[in-house]
Amino acid sequence: MRKAIVTLSALALVIVGAAIAQEKPAAPATAAAATTATSDPVIITAGSIAIHQSEFENAVKSLPPEYQSYALGPGKKQFADDFLRMKLLASEGLKNGLDKDPSVVKQLDLLRENLVAQEQLKRLDSATTVTDADLKKAYDENKKDYEQVKARHILIAFKGSPAAPKGKKELTDAEAKAKAEALRADIVSGKAKFEDVAKKESDDTESGKNGGELGAFGRGQMVPEFETAAFSAKPGDITQPVKTQFGYHIIKVEEHTTTPFEEVKPTLEKNLKQKKLRDALDAMRENAKPTYDEAYFAVPKPAQAPAATPAPKSEGTKKPATKKP
């Protein structure tokens, strides 16, 4: 797969490079050209083809970032072979006049536009700035996304719950709720410690063996009912039993924290810059007031299956009698 991607990328580069090269007049030989030859040596020769170091390294830069280190590292010679093959093919194609073939010309135009568009996108990206004020505003508006709760819980499962333990008497919904309420009352009154009850009674055995410890979690990591109760409770609170699809939970909230602005700033900057860039591209499209051929872009309706042709009755065969219900 890696070799195929490298080869295709090189091919696209060579085709566009060849087309562009044909439009540029050859530079006159000068002393400066000799200096360039020294600083930019030929690193591959094959017949009439000479590949300079800069040309090779520019080809590598055309690859996706994840392949560039490979093409300049362990796969350097392999990429060089692929690149040379493309150069040889392009040379033969040019001799055969394929660059004048209408379909090839259309593809060259498309590749040229794509390259120019990519460069313009890079310029837009460089010109898109995000200020500290923008970042702080985005942080404050979405502060709840950076909140975390550290908590423990005790789960009492009811019949049909995914957490219902095997080999243990199944409780009805009412029985599970009553048990959870009784356990909470013992904890709140000081008759029992939360951690001890979790170890002995919780049907979430994984957290139960650690005293019900769940660690810290953010929004979207727990089922909605559990999340709402946990984030609404204050540190030290032990919630009333909270019903979820798993059963009734007694939640002990230990701590509320918020990831500091400085820690999320790099991610915020990246996301906000991408949003601004998308908005700029959307505005560019809207300002151009595009129109689409609705008939061409209409989603085709699924073809209907032809009606079944009734099978002919065999001679002498009677239709079975039916009874009305």
- pLDDT digit of tens for each residue in the chain (325 aa)? 444 444 444 444 443 444 344 344 444 445 444 555 568 999 999 999 999 999 999 999 989 988 999 999 999 999 999 999 999 999 999 999 999 999 999 999 999 999 999 999 999 999 999 999 999 999 999 999 999 999 999 999 999 999 998 888 899 999 999 999 999 999 999 999 999 999 999 999 999 999 999 999 999 999 999 999 999 999 999 999 999 999 999 999 999 999 999 999 999 999 999 999 999 999 999 999 999 999 999 988 887 766 655 555 544 433 333 333 3
Please provide residue 318's backbone torsions phi and psi, each rounded to the nearest 5 degrees: -95, 145
We report the CATH number of the domain holding residue 156 as 3.10.50.40
* CA contacts within 13 A on the Cβ side of 278: 6
- Based on the fold, state whether residues 161 and 240 are members of the same structural domain: yes
Q: Which domain holds residue 18?
A: 2-116
Q: Which residues contact 187 (CB under 8 A, 6 or more apart)?
A: 193, 194, 197, 238, 250
Query: Residue 193: inside a domain, yes or no?
Result: yes
Degrees, nearest 5: CA angle 93-84-18: 45
What distance in Å separates the CA atoms of residue 26 and residue 51, rounded to the nearest whole number? 16
Please provide residue 242's backbone torsions phi and psi, each rounded to the nearest 5 degrees: -110, 125
What is the radius of gyration, based on Cα positions, of the chain? 35
56, 80 Cβ separation under 8 angstroms: yes
Query: Residue 273: inside a domain, yes or no?
Result: no
pLDDT at residue 306, as a whole number: 64
pLDDT at residue 184, as a whole number: 98
pLDDT at residue 262, as a whole number: 96
- Based on the fold, state whether residues 109 and 146 are members of the same structural domain: no
Q: Which residue has the tokens 């033969």?
A: 92
Query: Residue 241: inside a domain, yes or no?
Result: yes
Q: Which of 88, 11, 4 is nearest to 49 (CA)?
A: 88
What distance in Å separates the CA atoms of residue 159 and residue 179, rounded to the nearest whole number? 14
pLDDT at residue 14, as a whole number: 42
- Based on the fold, state whether residues 165 and 229 are members of the same structural domain: yes
SS3 250: strand
pLDDT at residue 305, as a whole number: 66
Instruction: Name the pTM for this structure.
Output: 0.58
- Based on the fold, state whether residues 145 and 111 are members of the same structural domain: no
Query: Residue 282: inside a domain, yes or no?
Result: no
- Based on the fold, state whether residues 181 and 73 are members of the same structural domain: no
Domain boundary among 205, 229, 258: 258
What distance in Å separates the CA atoms of residue 183 and residue 197, rounded to the nearest whole number? 8
SS3 242: strand
- Based on the fold, state whether residues 40 and 92 are members of the same structural domain: yes
Angle between helices 2-23 and 102-127 (to 10 degrees): 100
pLDDT at residue 167, as a whole number: 83
pLDDT at residue 19, as a whole number: 38
Q: Total structural domains in the chain?
A: 2
- Based on the fold, state whether residues 164 and 224 are members of the same structural domain: yes
252, 212 Cβ separation under 8 angstroms: yes
pLDDT at residue 311, as a whole number: 53
